[in-house]
């Protein structure tokens, strides 16, 4: 059963400006080591960072928390096995909040086009 839906979009150039201005400090605060590794291996790394940022925002909307209640950026991780669609893994307090809300799994999808990265998250009981 679907219990929540979240969506977010971000201008790729806008996130690229943040990456250039704040550099490693921002990237390390927001993205896990595995996410950083994945994005940095891509030719258009800002596009992939933007997609993952949009996922994190969409998941926060699914949880109904925003950045409050102990939800941390790196506790929402976009993982991807070779040849597979991306998936989200929740850690720490964020995973506990999801469990409290009866969320067993969060499905995600990411897209990039026309300078925009967008993500949808669907929470399943």
What does the pLDDT look like over 73-114, one tens digit per residue?
999 999 998 899 999 999 999 999 999 999 999 999 999 999
Distances (CA, A) of 52 to 42, 90, 125: 13, 13, 23
Pairing of strands 76-79, 105-113: unpaired
Which pLDDT value is given to residue 59? Answer: 97
Residue 42 CA to residue 31 CA, distance in Å, equals: 15
**CATH code of the domain covering residue 33:** 3.90.470.20
Residue 11 predicted with pLDDT over 90: yes
In the predicted model, what is the mean pLDDT of residues 44-59? 97
79's enclosing H/E stretch is: strand 76-79
- How many domains does one find in the chain? 1
Query: DSSP state, 73?
Result: G
Angular region, 14: left φ>0, alpha ψ -120 to 50, beta rest: alpha
Local confidence band at 69 (pLDDT 50, 70, 90 cut-offs): confident
The structure tokens 């977010």 sit at 8
- The parent domain of residue 24 ranges over 2-124
Residues 78, 52 contacting (CB under 8 angstroms): yes
Alpha-carbon gap, residue 53 to 119, rounded angstroms: 9
Q: Is the pLDDT of residue 65 over 90?
A: no
CA–CA separation, 53 vs 115, rounded Å?
A: 14
């Amino acid at each position: 059963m679907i219990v929540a839906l979240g969506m977010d979009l971000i201008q790729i150039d806008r996130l690229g400006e943040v990456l250039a201005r704040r550099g490693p400090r921002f990237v390390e605060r927001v993205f896990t080591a595995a996410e950083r590794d994945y994005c940095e291996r891509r030719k258009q790394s800002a596009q992939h960072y933007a997609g993952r940022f949009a996922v994190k925002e969409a998941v926060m909307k699914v949880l109904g928390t925003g950045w409050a209640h102990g939800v941390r950026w790196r506790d929402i991780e976009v993982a991807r096995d070779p040849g597979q669609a991306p998936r989200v893994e929740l850690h720490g307090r964020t995973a506990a909040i999801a469990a409290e809300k009866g969320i067993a799994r969060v499905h995600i999808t990411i897209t990039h086009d026309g300078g925009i990265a967008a993500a949808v998250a669907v929470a399943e009981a």
